[in-house]
Amino acid sequence: MIEVQGLRKSYGGREVLRLDRWQLPSAASCCVTGPSGSGKSTLLEILCALRPADAGTVHVGGTAVHGLARRASDRWRGRTVGVVTQSPHLLDILSVEENVALAAHMAAASVDRRRVGTLLERLGIAHLARRRTRGLSQGERQRVVLARALLCGPSVVVADEPTSHLDDEACEALCTLLAGCCAEAGATLVVATHDRRILPRFQHRLQLARVEAI
Ligand SMILES: Nc1ncnc2c1ncn2[C@@H]1O[C@H](COP(=O)(O)OP(=O)(O)OP(=O)(O)O)[C@@H](O)[C@H]1O
């Protein structure tokens, strides 16, 4: 269950996110939509404790995320949340499979190499496993980040525009894997997107508006 109340976020005195009340049941899937600048990425970053809110409470799976100190939030995120950021952050001196395995190191868990291979296979990038990530296309990088997010079986997956650089076939494969992995693990899925191709795949939708339009 995700539960948000009285959430407010400003940058430089300008309020960019206002969400009075939002609930999402455990194991549900939800897309977050809205015009550019309506605070979708900001909300996702707050949900996974990458960014603090100015006011309000955020509970994710029973954890009061708004109250976590820095180190505790890193530990909580590593164990609980699979994060797919808008611009894929990869360590380009490492190979694809090493980048995926980083998730296990972050969660202080051992690396399940078979699962790494299976995820790469299901995302159509198994042939890239030993290649360094430098030089991969945006779409390939996005799929590496997704494999990394799913490796440790998170109970919540948060993805920001995960299909923005993908063609229809890769988009379909990624969505099927994302939905399949979340369903298998009973994980809650929250995806910020402008991509109309994927909207019908979600059970719930949170529509944000620019704060000045509220
Ligand atoms: N670190 C920051 N410092 C200052 N302003 C920021 C910062 N991050 C975001 N903003 C501003 O906050 C507003 C909301 O940004 P956010 O990225 O959350 O919107 P979004 O709905 O995800 O947009 P998009 O659909 O374009 O990705 C925007 O006006 C943006 O310029």
CA of 42, closest atom in ligand 1? 18
Best of 9, 40, 45, 87 to mutate for ligand 1, by most ligand atoms within 8 A of CB? Answer: 40
Cα 115 to Cα 44: distance, rounded to the nearest angstrom? 26
Q: What pLDDT does 135 receive?
A: 92
Q: Are 7 and 55 in contact (CB under 8 A)?
A: yes
- In this predicted structure, what is the pLDDT of residue 98? 97
Closest residue CA from atom 26 of ligand 1: 36
pLDDT value at residue 24: 98
Question: Is the CB of residue 41 below 6 angstroms from any atom belonging to ligand 1?
Answer: yes
Choose one of 38, 84, 190 to mutate for the ligand 1 pocket test, by most ligand atoms within 8 angstroms of C-beta: 38
Q: Which residues pair with 7 in a beta bridge?
A: 19
For every one of its 214 residues, what pLDDT tens digit does the chain have, with 9 covering 90 and above?
999 999 999 999 999 999 999 999 999 999 999 999 999 999 999 999 999 999 999 999 989 999 999 889 988 998 899 999 877 789 999 999 999 999 998 888 899 999 999 999 988 899 999 999 999 998 899 899 999 999 998 999 999 999 988 899 989 988 988 898 888 889 999 999 999 999 999 999 999 999 877 6
Looking at the DSSP assignment, which residues form a beta bridge with residue 2?
24, 60
**In the prediction, which pLDDT does 166 show?**
87
Give the global pTM. Answer: 0.91
* Per-residue pLDDT at 93: 95
Q: How many angstroms separate the most distant Cα atoms in the chain? A: 49
How many alpha carbons fall within 13 Å on the CB side of residue 1?
A: 7
Report the sign of the C-alpha dihedral through residues 83, 63, 155, 197, in that order: negative
Distance 37 CA to ligand 1 centre (A): 5
In ligand 1, the atom with minimum distance to the C-alpha of 43 is 18
